[in-house]
Amino acid sequence: MKNHLLPRLLFTALCAMGLPVLAQQASPNVVWIDAMNLTEVEQGWGQVHAGKSVDGHPITLNNVVYAHGIGTHADGNIVITLHGAATRFSATVGVDDEATKEGSVVFTVLVDGKERVKTPVLKRGDTQVISIDVTGAKQLTLQLDDAGDGINNDHGDWADAKLELAPGARQKPEIVTTPATPPRYVHQAESEVPQIHGARIIGATPGRDFLFRIPATGKGPLSYGAANLPSGLKLNPATGIISGALKAAGTTRVILSARGPKGRATRELTIVGGEHKLALTPPMGWNSWNVWAGAVDEDKVKAAADEMISTGLAAHGYSYINIDDTWEAGRDDKGNILTNKKFPDMARLSGYIHKKGLRFGIYSSPGPQTCAGYTASYEHEDQDAASYAAWGVDYLKYDWCSYGRIAKDDHSLPALMKPYQVMGASLNKVNRDIVYSLCQYGMGEVWKWGADPSIGGNAWRTTGDIVDNWHSLRGIIESQAGHEVYAGPGHWNDPDMLMVGIVGFGKTHPTHLKPNEQILHISMWSLLAAPILIGCDMTKMDQFTLDLLANDETIDINQDPLGKAASRVVKDGNREVWARPLFDGTKAVGLVNMDNEPQKITVKWADLGLKAPQAVRDLWLHKNLGTINGSYTVEVPAHGCVLLKVKGVGRK
């Protein structure tokens, strides 16, 4: 969901045009909010700016320009510690004039946790003045919400936002910051003894291209084996790449092996041949948007594929290399989609990726244009699906974007389903297996119908776009409770791509998520059985990022063949317990702390439906904790997660 913003003149030009500019004189008893440290301000898109709109222009509400204020984007959250020093908070709020008519927001002000002001839904042209007494208060919270219709163009301004101080106040108010405490994890050196990782089950359609790279680690060189391969498939023992095409439907249990100087490993892989048997575990790989956005090109995609191999992430089960938006360049005289100069030959790029045993993904929209304004698939679905198949595409992300102009004001379920039904039918016509990912932000409770046979979705976005801050991460996690009943093998809830490592949508920077927030991020995506699509610059991953992504104990949870996503079994304020059953009869359990301070969290075996004493293992410390009766209590870092695996004593 990328925003299309109207062109803006510079601040001085606005003055010259005669637009009123509101500039108030500073006072020693006034603290402007835009003078505070804004680095901890969290919002659903973009970066907050002091004295400017979210897009970096002068703050303008209903044609009035304000010299002071903060331009934010829904959903946003500003928490200010007052130290009892302030007497009044005031601001003029509304949707900045730069937004389109789609923008609609609600402003809420809380004082010491109690709601004091909540505006009606405001759209462009609407403003409201807020002025409240905060004498003696300890905390002020300024919230910007999306009014329940998504965050597109929700550019909310806190114009002239300021605090008046009590005479003689010793401490000035300040925006709350959460300390970046050391991450609760232990680096685990990779064993030289061979081990096989990743998915334990894979599906494909008979007669169509099959590709699977055996994910194995250990001191090399490794040689690979695959006993009992079904007819039509062959293994390259030097690379571990299984290719070919299944000759018949059915289920085959294959014994994979990897041998090296330090030993040999084996693992069972179930291969399922049949119609609609794709994505039997959540897809794992890389997508270009969260790091490169419109700056993506062929060289960056090839570099990601190279790094997937050289960093060893492919050896842990990652396989997709997906191009997001901005590869398109109109159509030829027959209506066939063209690629732009950044991607001169998609079939050649696909072949480069496939040669490594990896899979190739692409992006489009059901509307006339993609989110970034490039050519999309409206009324050319059959042609585009045929082009994707000819190029060797294995994954399609299909983003709602401009289809809103086609649907107009029709938000009925048939209208929401229609564009995905159309492309689903087109994909069914081609002789290639293409994983179908619906990107439409959870509209119409897509988790209830995305897997409908008329659509055939393999994954569907359940939320708006993720950004690399705590407010975004927490909001997405909290919104997932209850969706788990709609997920399973072949159809997964997708809470969006990962925000660890170097990210930034073309303006790259280290993620703003703190280390323990990143651990929570990976833990929850594993518990939720979500697609694991890396969103960072693969060429610049530090050891911590690699440790997060290559933790085989979390990957095993995500790729568990039972395919049962976690449910939230306990919510006690900011303390939560999430759990999911695994194929071997054990349970994965996440103890989640949403608080700004460390919290002791207890998981009771009874809450998990367990009775016997449980053997407990900590999956980030890589440590067995022993056999524990009744319950387990542990201190969880602020914004953190302790991820456990528990099994009854006596289980194998």
Residues annotated catalytic, as ranges: 399, 465
Q: Shortest CA distance to 149 belongs to which of 74, 46, 224, 68?
A: 74
CA distance 554 to 644: 10
Tokens standing for 635?
Answer: 């201190």
Tokens standing for 433?
Answer: 């297996």
Q: Shortest CA distance to 438 belongs to which of 421, 453, 425?
A: 421
| DSSP codes joined into one string, 544-611 | HHHHHHT-HHHHHHHT-TT----EEEEEETTEEEEEEE-TTS-EEEEEEE-SSS-EEEEEEGGGGT--
Tokens standing for 406?
Answer: 């086609």
CA 623 to each of CA 181, 414, 619: distance values in angstroms, whole numbers, following the listed order: 21, 50, 7
Residue 181 makes CB contacts below 8 A (sequence gap 6+) with 514, 515, 516, 598, 637, 638
CA 250 to each of CA 37, 201, 253: distance values in angstroms, whole numbers, following the listed order: 61, 13, 10
Tell me the backbone φ, ψ of residue 628, rounded to 5 degrees.
-130, 135
The secondary structure of 298-342, three-state, reads HHHHHHHHHHHHHCCHHHHCCCEEECCCCCEEEECCCCCEEECCC
How does DSSP classify residue 644?
A: E
Are 202 and 243 in contact by the 8 Å Cβ rule? The answer is no
> Would you mind telling me the total number of residues written for the chain in this entry?
652
CA 271 to each of CA 93, 155, 250, 268, 548: distance values in angstroms, whole numbers, following the listed order: 57, 49, 8, 10, 28
Which residue is associated with the tokens 């250990």? 218
Are 362 and 393 in contact by the 8 Å Cβ rule? The answer is yes
Distance in angstroms between the alpha carbons of the first and the last residue of the chain: 46
CA 36 to each of CA 28, 168, 209, 536: distance values in angstroms, whole numbers, following the listed order: 15, 20, 57, 30
List strand residue ranges (DSSP E) for 33-154, in order. Answer: 49-50, 59-61, 64-66, 69-73, 76-81, 86-95, 104-111, 114-118, 122-123, 127-133, 139-145
Dihedral angle computed from the Cα positions of residues 17, 22, 28 and 33, in that order, rounded to the nearest 10 degrees: -100
CA distance 434 to 422: 15
CA distance 103 to 97: 10
Whether the bond between 75 and the residue before it is cis, its omega within 30 degrees of 0, is: yes
How does DSSP classify residue 384?
A: H
Q: Mapping DSSP to helix (H, G, I), strand (E, B) and coil, where does residue 415 land?
A: helix
Whether the bond between 489 and the residue before it is cis, its omega within 30 degrees of 0, is: no
Q: Give the distance from CA 329 to its chain's centroid.
A: 27
How does DSSP classify residue 58?
A: B
